């Protein structure tokens, strides 16, 4: 079988989370590597000198000396919030009410949603992100627009219509029944079409009545194939308000547990202020806690405690994400940088090998997709990012003294941004090239 595309460069991918810088069995690093792609899937990867004759060609894309990794995976991002990034606010609820709920009302217009869907995906690719799980607005059409745009680009994308029936402006509210019906319709139309999926998406307990939470639980029972996404324990005032709305609950996590929303397919954004009982229940259920460092810092929400996650039995599954638009940058590189600082403030060291594992295979595993994305291995979907560790003057200056792979990764993480993304490849096709629209 001949390749439909052939790429050359330095290759890096992971098999598991490295225990530290010396854990070389956790990853593959090939100084002069090749990736042969056939029909959107990696047919072969390895050392260029060992490339089988069937895949050899003079027509290949040469990315040397750049580093090729699996495409970044973003585990928590809001499609309608691209134009509220960098909106001045002091806390989560102020930010939601002043900017976000105003902006999201625009997504009732299909033309606006369609235009923004194209820009949203372009921004992801420009920053090296090839897969994301995204929140739409309350409008079914917002998810239609985003998933339709993803299908046209061949991207792997998961999205859900936000369910909100209280504590939001009237134009942004649905009802328990309409939220249920719209989500069912989206699942029927989009889930499993090409490379897109639908997620059950109650925004958070603050904006859903008990009746709507019941409906969300019904959707989870009826569609066990679907991921679930929501928010949990981000802000102290949010937690206090939720406790007032659900006075029977043991704590915030107990509300989701009561309605059957905990489980290995559920991703909870933030998880900053949970107590020991909540953390143990998260761990037992296999739920995923999503670290959103730039958002947590920007809105003054608090510091994500990774050691707390690791200290449960079993360890709590976790992921990392940009959380655009409370998050302040689309780049997973910038996100990893801020995450490093958040953890360092708490005396928790996070080696760059572990950071890049998390942004690729680790996040793929959080989505239950580690058998499809997150590795540069045969049989995997051909999504990858090409990173240039000397992409701006400051990086080039520091790169002159780099001696190890770990140092290079830390440089990319600390000083890199979209300029460090030389190219993003989706299904074996170059979907973004630096300098090109």
Does residue 332 sit in helix, strand or coil? helix
- Lowest-confidence region among 15-24, 264-273, 289-298: 15-24
Contact 267, 280 (CB under 8 A): no
Within the chain, which residue ranges are assigned CATH 2.30.40.10? 5-71+374-433
Does residue 196 sit in helix, strand or coil? strand
Residue 334: phi and psi, rounded to 5, are: -65, -35
State the DSSP H helix or E strand holding residue 307, giving kind and residue range, or none if neither.
helix 306-310
State the DSSP H helix or E strand holding residue 156, giving kind and residue range, or none if neither.
strand 156-160
Contact 421, 126 (CB under 8 A): yes
Question: What is the pLDDT at residue 263?
Answer: 98
Rounded percentage of the chain residues whose pLDDT exceeds 90: 96
Residue 354 CB neighbour total at 10 angstroms: 22
pLDDT over 50 at 437, yes or no: no
Question: What is the pLDDT at residue 436?
Answer: 62
Residue 107 CB neighbour total at 10 angstroms: 24
pLDDT over 80 at 379, yes or no: yes
What's the mean pLDDT when you consider all of the chain?
96
What is the distance between the alpha carbons of residues 368 and 240, in angstroms, rounded to a whole number? 32
For 14-58, what is each residue's pLDDT tens digit?
999 999 888 999 999 999 999 999 999 999 999 999 999 999 999
Question: What is the pLDDT at residue 10?
Answer: 98
For 113-134, what is each residue's pLDDT tens digit?
999 999 999 999 999 999 999 9
Q: How confident is the model at residue 418 (pLDDT cuts 50, 70, 90)?
A: very high
Query: Which one, of 12, 14, 48, 15, lies nearest residue 29 by Cα?
Result: 12
Within the chain, which residue ranges are assigned CATH 3.20.20.140? 72-330
For 153-184, what is each residue's pLDDT tens digit?
999 999 999 999 999 999 999 999 999 999 99
Give me the CATH code for the 5-71+374-433 domain, please.
2.30.40.10
Q: How confident is the model at residue 2 (pLDDT cuts 50, 70, 90)?
A: low
For 326-376, what is each residue's pLDDT tens digit?
999 999 999 999 999 999 999 998 899 999 999 999 999 999 999 999 999
What is the distance between the alpha carbons of residues 284 and 263, in angstroms, rounded to a whole number? 9
Residue 314: cis peptide before it, omega within 30 degrees of 0: yes
* Class of domain 72-330 as given by CATH: alpha beta
């Amino acid at each position: 079988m001949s390749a439909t595309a052939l790429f050359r460069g330095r290759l890096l991918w992971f098999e598991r989370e490295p225990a530290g810088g010396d854990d070389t069995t956790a990853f593959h690093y090939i100084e002069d590597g090749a990736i042969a792609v056939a029909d959107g899937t990696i047919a072969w990867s390895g050392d260029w000198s060992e490339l089988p004759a069937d895949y050899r060609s003079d027509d290949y894309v040469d990315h040397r000396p750049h580093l090729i990794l699996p495409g970044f995976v973003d585990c928590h991002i809001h499609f309608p919030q691209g134009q509220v990034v960098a909106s001045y606010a002091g806390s989560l609820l102020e930010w939601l009410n002043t900017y976000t709920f105003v902006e999201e009302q625009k997504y009732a217009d299909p033309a606006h949603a369609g235009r923004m869907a194209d820009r949203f995906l372009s921004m992801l690719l420009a920053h090296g992100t090839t897969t994301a799980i995204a929140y739409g607005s309350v409008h079914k059409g917002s998810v239609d627009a985003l998933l339709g745009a993803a299908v046209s680009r061949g991207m792997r994308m998961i999205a859900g219509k936000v369910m909100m029936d209280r504590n939001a402006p009237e134009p942004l509210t649905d009802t328990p029944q309409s939220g249920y019906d719209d989500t069912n319709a989206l699942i029927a139309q989009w889930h499993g079409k090409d490379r897109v999926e639908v997620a059950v998406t109650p925004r958070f307990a603050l904006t859903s009545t008990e009746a709507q939470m019941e409906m969300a639980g019904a959707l989870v029972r009826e569609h066990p194939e679907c991921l679930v996404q929501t928010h949990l324990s981000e802000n102290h005032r949010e937690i206090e308000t939720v406790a007032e709305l659900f006075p029977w609950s043991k704590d915030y996590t107990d509300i989701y547990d009561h309605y059957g929303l905990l489980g290995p397919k559920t991703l909870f954004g933030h998880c900053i202020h949970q107590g020991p009982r909540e953390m143990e229940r998260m761990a037992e259920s296999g739920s995923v806690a999503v670290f959103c460092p730039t958002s947590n810092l920007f809105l003054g929400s608090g510091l994500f405690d990774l050691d707390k996650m690791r200290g449960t039995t079993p360890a709590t599954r976790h992921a990392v994400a940009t959380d655009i638009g409370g998050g302040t940058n689309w780049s997973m590189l910038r996100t990893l940088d801020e995450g490093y600082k958040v953890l360092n403030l708490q005396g928790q060291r996070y080696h760059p090998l572990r950071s890049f594992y998390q942004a690729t295979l680790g996040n793929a595993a959080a989505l239950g997709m580690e058998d499809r994305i997150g590795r540069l291995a045969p049989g995997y979907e051909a999504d990858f990012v090409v990173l240039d560790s000397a992409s701006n003057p400051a990086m080039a200056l520091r790169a002159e003294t780099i001696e190890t792979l770990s140092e290079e990764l830390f440089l990319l993480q600390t000083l890199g941004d979209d300029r460090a993304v030389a190219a993003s490849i989706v299904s074996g096709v170059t979907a973004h090239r630096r300098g090109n629209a």
